[in-house]
């Protein structure tokens, strides 16, 4: 079973050819970080133009590396929601064209769902139901995953996602974009951090049973702190980054623990998304899962960020089950696709 994955939901132009929903035969990704760096965030028009320019070269590269022909494809899996509409449309037109030419089945993919299936590329298996924790630039949410194509929201972001908060913090601290890696790197250099009180408030103290995420207040607290306490040297900057990251991760961990307690039947936790590349997050999540005797799976670092291999992996799961998402147009909405079951 050979599948082509196409990902263009935001600022990564990515294609991959995957065998049996688990083995990557070839992959190629063009990162647009350098294009958006001057703006400290993604510019939609720049993103969609870059996708259009890069897809032909990336496709040629992966077909040559995989040593397969266009007509060897069983399916073409393409991200169709959620994301930037212009970027999604570029990928959809590319995928639909290849499917028409090759005779392969076109499979619409929900980008958020695909992040959890990136663990298939590590050699892991999916066991339903499981608790899915997505932490990225645009999303911070917990899901109950009952079956393929069935994501039930447990807790969502009220305002800013964790990745957005890290980008803003990095900008305020004059650190490089994207913010997550920059904050993590400089936070490791902080000295004497255990001897001082964290100057930032805990984000959104909610009722014991509520699972919600909010980082707008933490961002504002950082802004006011820097206005009142200008940074004098690199060590102070490192300490501020450490305390900000500490509060951000604490908020994630508290909500994860709530979700585990409220869903005792879920023995598997899959954390995914670009922010899960953070080593402190991985450490703390593992401690929580060990405490409650749960299995924690996180994709390999290269598959945490947006990539076409995870799109192809999820597409392979649908193809094997003869279940296909139904979608005729791309969308920025997060809602799941209706499913069509095909009897062989």
**186: pLDDT confidence band, cut at 50, 70 and 90?**
very high
Same domain membership, residue 330 and residue 256: no
Same domain membership, residue 256 and residue 166: yes
Longest dimension (CA), the chain: 68
What are the pLDDT digits (tens) for 75-90?
999 999 999 999 999 9
State which residues form the domain around 199: 130-299
Same domain membership, residue 85 and residue 198: no
Please tell me the predicted confidence (pLDDT) of residue 203: 82
Locus of tokens 């490791």: 188
What are the pLDDT digits (tens) for 47-106?
999 999 999 999 999 999 999 999 999 999 999 999 999 999 999 999 999 999 999 999
Alpha-carbon gap, residue 138 to 80, rounded angstroms? 16
Does the global pTM surpass 0.85?
A: yes
Count: domains in the chain: 2
**13: pLDDT confidence band, cut at 50, 70 and 90?**
very high
- Burial (CB < 10 A; 0-12, 13-18, 19+), residue 31, is middle
- Burial (CB < 10 A; 0-12, 13-18, 19+), residue 321, is middle
According to DSSP, residue 1 is labeled -
Distant-in-sequence, close-in-space partners of 327: CB < 8 Å, separation ≥ 6: 80, 81, 108, 337
Check pLDDT > 70 for residue 193.
no
Please tell me the predicted confidence (pLDDT) of residue 207: 65
Please tell me the predicted confidence (pLDDT) of residue 331: 92
Do 25 and 18 touch, CB atoms closer than 8 A?
yes
Check pLDDT > 90 for residue 237.
yes
Same domain membership, residue 197 and residue 75: no
Tokens of 326: 């139904």
Please tell me the predicted confidence (pLDDT) of residue 41: 81
Same domain membership, residue 218 and residue 199: yes
Same domain membership, residue 141 and residue 108: no
Same domain membership, residue 134 and residue 116: no
Q: What is the mean pLDDT of residues 135-143?
A: 93
- Three-class SS state of 5: strand
Q: Phi/psi at 109 (nearest 5 deg)?
A: -120, 135
**32: pLDDT confidence band, cut at 50, 70 and 90?**
confident
Distances (CA, A) of 184 to 10, 37, 229: 23, 18, 21
Q: Which of 83, 87, 95, 89 is nearest to 50 (CA)?
A: 87
Please tell me the predicted confidence (pLDDT) of residue 194: 62
Same domain membership, residue 160 and residue 67: no
Give one DSSP letter per residue of 171-226, joined into a string.
HHTT-PSSHHHHHHHHHTT--SGGGS---SPPS----TT--EE--HHHHHHHHHHH
Do 293 and 321 touch, CB atoms closer than 8 A?
no
Tokens of 155: 């807790």
Which CATH number does the domain housing residue 213 bear?
3.30.420.40
Same domain membership, residue 86 and residue 74: yes
**215: pLDDT confidence band, cut at 50, 70 and 90?**
very high
Beta bridge partners of 24: 18
Same domain membership, residue 293 and residue 219: yes
What are the pLDDT digits (tens) for 107-124?
999 999 999 999 999 999
Please tell me the predicted confidence (pLDDT) of residue 205: 63
Alpha-carbon gap, residue 272 to 305, rounded angstroms? 8
**2: pLDDT confidence band, cut at 50, 70 and 90?**
very high
Same domain membership, residue 31 and residue 169: no
Number of Cβ within 10 Å of residue 331's Cβ equals: 15
Do 334 and 151 touch, CB atoms closer than 8 A?
no
**39: pLDDT confidence band, cut at 50, 70 and 90?**
confident
Phi-psi region of 123 (alpha: psi -120 to 50; beta: other; left: phi over 0): left
Same domain membership, residue 99 and residue 156: no
């Amino acid at each position: 079973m050979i599948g082509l994955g196409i990902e263009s939901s935001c600022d990564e132009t990515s294609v991959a050819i995957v065998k049996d929903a688990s083995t990557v035969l070839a992959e190629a990704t063009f990162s647009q970080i350098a294009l958006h760096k001057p703006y400290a965030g993604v510019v939609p028009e720049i993103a969609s133009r870059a996708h259009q320019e890069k897809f032909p070269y990336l496709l040629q590269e992966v077909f040559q590396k995989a040593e397969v022909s266009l007509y060897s494809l069983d399916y073409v899996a393409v991200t169709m929601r959620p994301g930037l509409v212009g970027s999604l449309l570029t990928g959809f037109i590319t995928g639909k064209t290849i499917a028409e030419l090759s005779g392969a089945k076109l499979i619409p993919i929900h980008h958020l769902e695909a992040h959890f299936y990136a663990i298939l590329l590590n050699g892991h298996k999916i066991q339903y139901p499981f608790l899915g924790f997505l932490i990225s630039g645009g999303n911070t949410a917990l899901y109950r995953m009952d079956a393929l194509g069935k994501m039930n929201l447990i807790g969502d972001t009220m305002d800013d996602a964790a990745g957005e908060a890290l980008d803003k913090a990095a900008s305020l601290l004059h650190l490089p974009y994207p913010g997550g890696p920059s904050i993590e790197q400089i936070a490791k250099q902080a000295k004497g951090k255990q001897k001082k009180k964290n100057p930032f408030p805990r984000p959104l103290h909610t009722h014991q049973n509520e699972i919600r995420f909010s980082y707008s207040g933490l961002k504002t607290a950082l802004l006011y702190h820097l206005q009142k306490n200008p940074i004098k040297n690199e060590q102070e900057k490192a300490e501020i980054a450490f305390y900000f990251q500490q509060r951000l991760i604490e908020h994630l961990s508290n909500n994860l623990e709530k979700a585990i307690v409220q869903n005792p039947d879920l023995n598997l936790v899959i954390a995914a998304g670009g922010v899960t590349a953070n080593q402190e997050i991985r450490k703390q999540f593992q401690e929580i899962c060990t405490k409650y005797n749960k299995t924690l799976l996180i994709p390999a670092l290269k598959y945490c960020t947006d990539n076409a291999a995870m799109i192809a992996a999820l597409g392979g799961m649908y193809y094997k089950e003869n279940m296909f998402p139904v979608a005729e147009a791309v969308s920025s909405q997060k809602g799941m696709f209706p499913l069509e079951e095909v009897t062989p």
